Structure 1
Amino acid sequence: MSAPTGPRTLAVVKGHGTQNDFVLLDDRDGVLDLGPGLVRALADRRAGVGADGVIRLVPCRALPEGAASTAEDPAAEWFMDYRNADGSVAQMCGNGVRVVARYAEHLGLWDGADELVLGTRAGVRRVRRDGGAYAVDMGEWRFVDPARAESAAVDAEVQVAGLPVARPALSLDLGNPHTVVAVADLDELARIDLTRAPEVTPPPPEGSNVEVVVPLGEEVTPEGETVGRLRMRVHERGVGETRSCGTGACAAALAVRHWGGPGSPDTWLVDVPGGTVRVRTLPGGRVELAGPAVLVAEGLVDLDALEAGRAGS
């Protein structure tokens, strides 16, 4: 008679960056099979742990995309394997980069003193501690259609539920695709319905995150710096509306800065439902994202119960 076996378990940590939340997995041995079904089950907010996405921290050497990161920068030892809540693979996530940096601290893989060089499918990202926040060099960004961005300042239309007509929008690439649309005021922002995916015309080939923004003008910080401010809601492809989106905040700030013309601030505070992040342009067409990263829980998931819960839904 064989001995009874214990439950199959998976160690997880739950974290968030301005309430954009993630299930974090420690795969230092590079052996975890992170398939779409497991991702969907973990991210399920009723039958699983619940999250906007799942992030596996894995050695760069353990997967081909990680090898590309090491080729880009030999200092990239760790790779951020990010999946959307629907199980689809994503290039990267700005809030997720900060949270996985906090996770690397928690695991003792980064001491926070120097930069953390992290591999992602969108290229290497560098994270540094900035007081109580985490600042990420998000790399180079670009307009999807630079000629139209310069000549017309828009290159698409977006139909958002709750708005009577489609609105002009601007498309940007920050390693993943974004479409930014402005509305008149905070009341209009509150009225939109992001339970349904906005319709972007022309349709982006790989879909797009859609940021709906209200510019709030400029203000002077206690340090004397003039900064812009805007408020944003976002629909993320493969997820739905989220409380925050890091690359989306960058895209929104860059679009509003472009619309503002010469003299617009280089630093923007972006208010999202989950808090506030700071976006700052860097030399060489790069952009930095800074904000909080919090770990709130850790524990063991019973994989048999997880599978049973999903089967019964």
Structure 2
Amino acid sequence: MTIENRDLTSVATAPGTEGTDSQHAADLSFTKGHGTENDFVLLDDRHARMELTAAMVRELTDRRAGIGADGVIRVVPSAALPEGRAVLGQDPDAVWFMDYRNADGSIAQMCGNGVRVFAAYLEDLGLAYFGDGHELVLGTRAGVRRVRKEANGWFAVDMGVWSFPGGEEAVHDGFDAEVSVLGLEPGGAQVPRPALSVDLGNPHTVLALASVADLDRADLTRAPVVVPTPPQGTNVELVVPLGEETSVDGSVVGRVRMRVHERGVGETRSCGTGACAAALAVRAWAGDGAPDVWLVEVPGGTVRVTMLPDGHVELAGPAVLVADGRLRTTPNL
């Protein structure tokens, strides 16, 4: 696949790498991938010679003038970045770092769907091996992440420690924030509704709705208003609990449907950390005896969220590499 675009003017290599075998502006190779239709432009910078600018990210993710994606993920050695070196201090096996940027060019701490696609990309590049039950250890700005590949081809990621920023009081009350969303009220009014904050290395605010009809009616073309507003913004998940069901092995599994507005992106077809936040919030609202495993339905498909005994949460779902391409830019760059 070759994509021609003669307007992307921000592609650049790191200073001092001219004349090397670095990725030159006139011939930028990329891969396009998605996890439950949360899509990414993937860049192989295994030699850490690329300068990934905010303008470059915005142009690459532009759905009309660029490749189009919810974000950009760069493969880079952990040793090449300060955040990566900190991760290596936690686990020296975290050789590769997931440098993730939102579509607006801002740096993001974490992306659950992105981690799975990143793992699939590393496997495709020959930089990761999942045979014989091997586990991949990688670095992110939210810390070390461990990935395993399931027999069905899904990737399962230990998303690490999670928390309710509002503490036990918020869990008891069921909320610690208020969210106003367009389209839910008659006449276009925005009425604040109670919501619960969840932290998964990046911030989330989860709002429960009464019905799927309410979920469908919500207008996420504009960002919901969250009070109090977290300093770095927040992703907002709108969720409808769909009850519980018994799986083939006899265990009880919860099910929830979700839409999400991601900070720096807008509404996306899926959000991995958002799915975890949705399951954790609904489980808290359900109280004692609620399932530890939840299936979260998003517009782009279904993922599985599992509460692990060590206080971590696991996210599992598909990761698809759609195409490889080469970006052509104007020859005078």
Q: How far off its partner does 1:92 sit? A: 1.1
Task: Quote the residue 1:29 is aligned against.
Answer: 47
Alignment-mate amino acid for residue 185 of structure 1: S
Q: How many residues align?
A: 302
Matched residue SS, 1:304: coil
Alignment-mate amino acid for residue 194 of structure 1: L
In the alignment, structure 2 segments of 5+ residues that lack a partner are: 1-23, 186-190
Equivalent in 130, 150, 158 of residue 179 of structure 2: 158
Q: How far off its partner does 1:149 sit? A: 1.9
Task: Quote the residue 1:117 is aligned against.
Answer: 137
Task: Quote the residue 2:27 is aligned against.
Answer: 9
Matched residue SS, 2:330: helix
State the superposition RMSD in angstroms: 1.4
Matched residue SS, 2:290: coil
Question: Would the aligned equivalents of 2:234 and 2:262 in 1 still touch at CA under 8 Å?
Answer: yes
Question: Would the aligned equivalents of 2:155 and 2:318 in 1 still touch at CA under 8 Å?
Answer: yes
Task: Quote the residue 1:130 is aligned against.
Answer: 150
Task: Quote the residue 1:275 is aligned against.
Answer: 301
Report the more deviating stretch, 164-173 or 84-93. 164-173
Q: How far off its partner does 1:100 sit? A: 0.3
Distance in 2 (CA, whole Å) between partners of 1:150 and 1:25 is 40
Spell out, residue by residue over 1:214-234, the C-alpha distance to the aligned partner (whole angstroms, 9 max, x if none): 000000111211100000000
Spell out, residue by residue over 1:233-275, the C-alpha distance to the aligned partner (whole angstroms, 9 max, x if none): 0000000000000000000000000000000000000000000
Q: Where does structure 1 differ by over 4 angstroms across 4 or more consecutive aligned residues?
A: none
Task: Quote the residue 2:63 is aligned against.
Answer: 45
Question: Would the aligned equivalents of 2:164 and 2:171 in 1 still touch at CA under 8 Å?
Answer: no
Identity of aligned residues (%): 66
Q: How far off its partner does 1:147 sit? A: 3.2
Spell out, residue by residue over 1:273-312, the C-alpha distance to the aligned partner (whole angstroms, 9 max, x if none): 000000000122210000000000001001338x9xxxxx
Distance in 2 (CA, whole Å) between partners of 1:7 and 1:130 is 37
Q: How far off its partner does 1:7 sit? A: 7.3
Spell out, residue by residue over 1:69-99, the C-alpha distance to the aligned partner (whole angstroms, 9 max, x if none): 1001011000000000000000010000000
Distance in 2 (CA, whole Å) between partners of 1:303 and 1:289 is 37
Distance in 2 (CA, whole Å) between partners of 1:14 and 1:285 is 33
Matched residue SS, 1:143: coil
Distance in 2 (CA, whole Å) between partners of 1:155 and 1:299 is 45
Distance in 1 (CA, whole Å) between partners of 2:235 and 2:161 is 18
